Amino acid sequence: MGRRSAHPAVLSSPMETTTSRVTPLREPDLERVPQPPANTEAEQALLGAILINNVAYQRVAEFLVAEHFGNGVHGRIYAAIAKLIERGQIANPVTLKNLFDQDGALAEIGGAQYLARLAESAVTIINAEHYGRNIHDLYLRRELITIGQDIVTEAFQHDLDDLAPEQIERAESKLFELASSGQAEGGFQPFTTALASAITMAQAAFKRDGKTVGVASGFIDLDKKLGGLHPSDLVILAGRPSMGKTALGTNIAFNAAKAYRAARGADGRIDLSRAAEDGAVIGFFSLEMSAEQLATRILAEESGISSDKIRRGEVRREDFDKFVAASQRLASVPLYIDDTPALSVTALRTRARRLKRQHGLGLIVVDYLQLMRPSASSRGSENRVQEISEITRGLKAIAKELDVPVVALSQLSRAVEQREDKRPMLSDLRESGSIEQDADVVMFIFREEYYLSRGEPSRRAEESDDKFNDRYDRWKERCESTYAMAEIIIAKQRHGPIGTVKLHFEAETTKFDNLIGAERLPGGEY
């Protein structure tokens, strides 16, 4: 009997066995289902306060919008109140009654009579801002939940074209946008506060060696024209190929890094939250050259040995002593290089924020603008002008957000080559409209020696020896007068004058330096 009674269980089909084990669903307990954070009572109290006294609206209007309300109907009531008040009309249950008589959603909760009940639940105008901030905080929490759910969903979807680092960048971008939207901070500040900040900046400039308000470039005449590289400024450094854009950008970055003196608190410890006493921590985004190539240039500049010889290994034994001495001096320089190609604005912002948080950040250099790509959301755009416009706006936003100058190198169009005078102009900027508009400073590099050395005169047909020799001598004289000389043309500057600054350029070590003119010789003005 025992064996026969066991057979039905053994011979039963898998389906029957599985079915027999299924637990029947229970009725859901709606109270235990997690609900997005919201505070209906606070929303009702705030709306009631505004309906009783419209002045309460001014206390929350700066940071609170209709979308921040957890209850959609409350959001629509708030939007209607805002529209009336901003038109200069009174918003109360009477003036809003006609607007909501035909509103089906409002009819479900009592129609226009609901407005009167809101007025009855009003808080005092003193508490209005507190309730508004509570509503805004709960909105941020709901958005955080949504972003978190999106991150989890995207991470589970295995898409070969959507790599994890790109998902991280999108997540950070969404969090940054959420942090920036509807902020309760900001707004007007008393002039005395701004005046105190200006005096503090002047005191900091007085303490610096270069007497500059911003980060000193290390070039005396250039710093006099610019007053240094100012925080929150976008500085465009443009030129044709072989003019020395990367060299000058590297020199500026290295000079600022060498001069770095960290700010210290009252206890004597380094305080990364404050601006450096001098110099800057540098974030160098090299989209064209590798970190090793950039390091070779800096090593050549510091050791005085040609970068070309270092690259080819044509160095003498005694040169290695110079390398060792140079490397010891460079070891403590706060210069951080990111050589990721085709970097997006979003990725650059993420990495710059991380660098500022971990090591402090005082200057960003981007080499170069046209090699960047826009954010993933606009990757399908075929209009290069629009892409460059988005990139420059993004770089300007990064400069303001991190409160550091951003130096972006840029290529010039070939229009320069077609003119007799090869000095660049603002119209020579590629996609010049957006670059010129967003930049606070636009500088061009021009080396006349480069063009003269490639334009050696040749004898013309039926030209006499005397005429040819005279023309050749004039060309040779111009070559000698422009030898190792570079012009930095400041074509736009929001804070000061435009003009031209001359620098010395040593091609072998790709190093720019201050030009020693007659006025700086002994007995001169300096």
Quick one: residue 480, left, alpha or beta (phi over 0 = left, psi -120 to 50 = alpha)?
alpha
Percentage of residues in the chain having pLDDT higher than 70? 77
**pLDDT digits 0-9 by tens, 380-406:** 555 777 888 888 888 998 898 888 999
pLDDT at 339: 86
Higher-confidence residue: 193 or 384? 384
Q: What integer is the mean pLDDT of 434-461?
A: 79
pLDDT at 10: 41
Name which of 189-198, 231-240, 414-423, 480-489 the model is least confident about: 189-198
| Stretch (H or E) spanning 387 | helix 384-402
The closest alpha carbon to 379, from 161, 58, 91, belongs to 161
pLDDT at 299: 79
pLDDT at 301: 78
Q: What pTM was estimated for this model as a whole?
A: 0.64
pLDDT at 199: 67
Whether residue 144 has pLDDT greater than 80: yes
Whether residue 372 has pLDDT greater than 80: yes
Structure tokens given for 416: 């320069």
* Contact yes or no for 499/490 (Cβ under 8 A): yes
Average model confidence (pLDDT) across the chain:
77
Name which of 284-293, 335-344, 471-480, 494-503 the model is least confident about: 471-480
Helix or strand or coil: residue 286? strand
Domains detected in the chain: 40-180 (1.10.860.10), 206-520 (3.40.50.300)
Structure tokens given for 101: 């008589």
**pLDDT digits 0-9 by tens, 248-293:** 888 899 888 888 887 777 777 777 667 777 788 899 998 888 888 8
Neighbours of 446 (CB within 10 A): 23
pLDDT at 294: 83
* Contact yes or no for 490/441 (Cβ under 8 A): yes
The closest alpha carbon to 301, from 261, 329, 278, 281, belongs to 329
